[in-house]
Homo-oligomer: A and B are copies of this chain.
C-alpha cells in the first residue's frame, strides 16, 4: 500500500499515460504493474510509492476525466441550449463539452472500449444524469411516474453515450465538433418532447 503522501506529479502522469498505452496494446485485463513501470520508465518499486495496484491508476485516470467533464457540463443550461438551437445557432457551452471530449478522444475511446473498464460507462452516464436530466425534468410542468422516469433516464443517458462512443470509434471523427453538438441537442430536445412514450 502506498504510504508516502507527497510525490512528484509528473511520475503519476507518466504512469497514467503508460496505462493508456498498455490498455491499447494488451487490454486492461492483461496490464501488469511490471510493464506499467517499464513503459513509464520508472522503477517498479516507484510505482508502489504512487499506487497500490493498476486498479488505483485506472480510478485516478477516470476521475481526472470525469471531473473535467462534469465542470464543463455544469455550465450547460438545457433551456438556453434549446432556444439557440431553434434559432439555428450553436450553443457554446455545449460545444465546449464536445470539444473537451474530442481533445481527450484517445483516453475516452480506450477506457470506453472493449479493452477498457466497464465502470466508466456508468460513471459517464451518471454525470449526464446529474445535470442535463435534472434540468430537463425540473423544467417540465407535469410530474412523471418515478419508475417511468428511471427508465427514461437510462434511455437518454445510454443513447447519448452510445452516440459519443460511435463518434469516438470513427477513426478521424467523421463529424465535426459542431455537427456532434447539433446531433446531441436534437436528441435531447427530441426526448424532452416525448410525452407519448
Q: Check if A68 is an interface residue, CB within 8 A of chain B.
A: no
Residues from chain B with a CB closer than 8 A to the CB of A161 are: 158
Also in contact, A147 and B118, with CB within 8 A (given A159-B158, A162-B158, A190-B197): no
Q: Check if A121 is an interface residue, CB within 8 A of chain B.
A: yes
Q: How many angstroms from the CA of A174 to the CA of B153 in the assembled complex?
A: 16
Q: Which residue of B lies closest to A116 (CB)?
A: B118
Within 8 A of B (CB), among A2-44: 28-29
Also in contact, A163 and B158, with CB within 8 A (given A29-B29, A115-B118, A118-B115): yes
Q: Check if A99 is an interface residue, CB within 8 A of chain B.
A: no
Q: How many angstroms from the CA of A18 to the CA of B113 in the assembled complex?
A: 26
Also in contact, A147 and B175, with CB within 8 A (given A122-B114, A158-B159, A187-B197): yes
Residues from chain B with a CB closer than 8 A to the CB of A29 are: 28-29, 55
Q: Check if A186 is an interface residue, CB within 8 A of chain B.
A: yes
Residues from chain B with a CB closer than 8 A to the CB of A119 are: 114
Q: Which residue of B lies closest to A183 (CB)?
A: B151
What is the interface of chain A, defined by CB distance below 8 A to chain B? 28-29, 55, 112-119, 121-122, 125, 147, 150-151, 153-159, 161-163, 165-167, 174-175, 183, 186-187, 190, 194, 196-197
Closest 3 CB pairs of A and B: A158-B162, A154-B166, A159-B159
Could you pull out 17 A-B pairs where Cβ atoms are within 8 angstroms? A29-B55, A113-B118, A117-B118, A150-B166, A151-B163, A151-B167, A151-B175, A153-B166, A154-B162, A154-B163, A155-B162, A155-B163, A156-B159, A158-B162, A158-B163, A159-B162, A190-B194
Supply 16 further A-B pairs (C-beta < 8 A) apart from A151-B167, A151-B175.
Answer: A28-B29, A115-B118, A118-B121, A125-B162, A151-B163, A151-B166, A155-B159, A155-B163, A156-B159, A158-B161, A158-B163, A159-B162, A186-B197, A187-B197, A190-B194, A190-B196
